[in-house]
Structure 1
């Protein structure tokens, strides 16, 4: 009998066809795909409770309009469903822009161990992004998510310059061959204001080059994979293998 996989997306554009091909490559899963805001939050609470595996590929809680961004917290039903799932020891996988989702849900980012910020605030500056970076993904931990992978493999993807609390995570993969410094990234706040690929007047401290990790603060297995901006990454066989193994691990199919 096929295991159930709930996928949550929306809030950030992506190419639906190639993403569906990625999901189809993951093995014998019965997939339910809900999209914010129409179904991703309103219909998700029961599905979050029932699913064997859970994949967050969403960036919910934002409205971008007229060069400005507004945020909101998740509904109490959605928040309670995720919290209860984790409290019961049942985990999840979060990919790519999920690191930015739910800016007004601090516990979500405490669990994840990091957060991409679209605006400066008490946390510090807005975060940085850089598309189509070719780098070497180096495995740095023997873990169910990384087993069977080569020591390193090439990836072309978007990278983030944002806060990552390495005391709250177990690093699994680091990006080598690319410096995580402000001169290599662009300002998210400038992009929101309409100035894509700008770093004018923007300052950001050097950041972590960790691009895959397991949370050490979540009560259930929670894996974050920064991979996933578009079709080139979806099709990368090693990224697919990591995602398959992460879903298996966080749904109880493998042990540490």
Structure 2
């Protein structure tokens, strides 16, 4: 991504910031994706590109950001950090306008925790990770769980352009989440063989308050082992890949293939027509 490729009009915008990551390791993955002209922009500046006039210069957006939370201040409503921040009205309006037009979106890893004060965002992506106890679809839940550096087996659940060329089962070392998947609105692509029970994860709220790798007094119902899916929202094709926490995952050829496939699929006319057809039949 260091050089400007003026010969390649397959432009993709990669959005980051809000969660720690190694910038060089992550962005180097895009240098290896053949045919894609990727550039990156950070939050909150990236919000400007949701303006439909600016977005039309990019065939797809890849989100690796986690906006909407102030981890350094408690919320007045519950006394807990992070403090939730409402997205700007103009950003929400532009985002929904893009979804109506039919823009391609790939959401990665910690994006599932973004914009917790805006419930519709979770519906767009297809799930939600909670950094503190809260409501999802009107039901109270505890904070979600995390677990770093887990080597687990991933299974491909069905043939799809996103999984083309990916082994039916493969091993990857990555961070996993005990969070929420809206399985009534997603098409499953990838699952993990890890046991999604609270004794295998740590409390995210305890991590926020300074106690990493703790689950003392924390309980969470068994979670979903689905870690990759496709869906539509309005007229837009969407992919979520839970993989992608660190270099161990970035270096996986299977991850690189999934990411490349996901970008190319959501940017394609076929995927956008698929989303429109699904939207029209709802």
Cα distance in 1 between the residues matched to 2:219 and 2:49:
40
Alignment of 1:209-228 (within 5 A): 209-228=225-244
Write out per-residue CA displacement over residues 163-199 of structure 1, whole angstroms, 9 at most, x where no aligned residue: 11111111000001x1000000000100010010111
Superposed displacement of residue 109, structure 1: 0.5
Superposed displacement of residue 218, structure 1: 4.7
SS of 2:127's equivalent in the other structure is coil
Write out per-residue CA displacement over residues 141-173 of structure 1, whole angstroms, 9 at most, x where no aligned residue: 111100121111111000000111111111000
Alignment of 1:1-256 (within 5 A): 1-37=8-44, 39-42=45-48, 44-45=50-51, 46-65=53-72, 68-122=81-135, 123-176=140-193, 178-252=194-268, 255=271
Cα distance in 2 between the residues matched to 1:149 and 1:199:
35
* Higher radius of gyration, 1 or 2: 2
| Residues paired across the two proteins, number | 254
CA contact (8 A) 1:169 1:217 kept: no
Distance 1:251 1:216, change over 3 A: closer
Write out per-residue CA displacement over residues 31-58 of structure 1, whole angstroms, 9 at most, x where no aligned residue: 2311113x22245535434311110100
Cα distance in 1 between the residues matched to 2:73 and 2:92:
29
Superposed displacement of residue 69, structure 1: 1.1
CA contact (8 A) 1:34 1:44 kept: no
Q: Which has the higher contact order (CA 8 A, sep 6+)?
A: 1
TM-score under structure 1 normalisation?
0.94
The residue number in structure 1 matching 2:278 is none
Structure 1 stretch displaced more, 49-58 or 197-206: 49-58
CA contact (8 A) 1:138 1:175 kept: yes
Cα distance in 2 between the residues matched to 1:218 and 1:101:
20
Superposed displacement of residue 65, structure 1: 1.2
Distance 1:43 1:52, change over 3 A: closer
| Root mean square deviation, CA, Å | 1.7
Q: What 5-or-longer segments of structure 2 have no aligned partner?
A: 1-7, 75-80, 275-282
Superposed displacement of residue 213, structure 1: 0.3
TM-score under structure 2 normalisation?
0.85
Distance 1:217 1:20, change over 3 A: closer
Structure 1 segments, 4+ long, off by >6 Å, are: none
Cα distance in 2 between the residues matched to 1:82 and 1:66:
27
SS of 2:61's equivalent in the other structure is strand
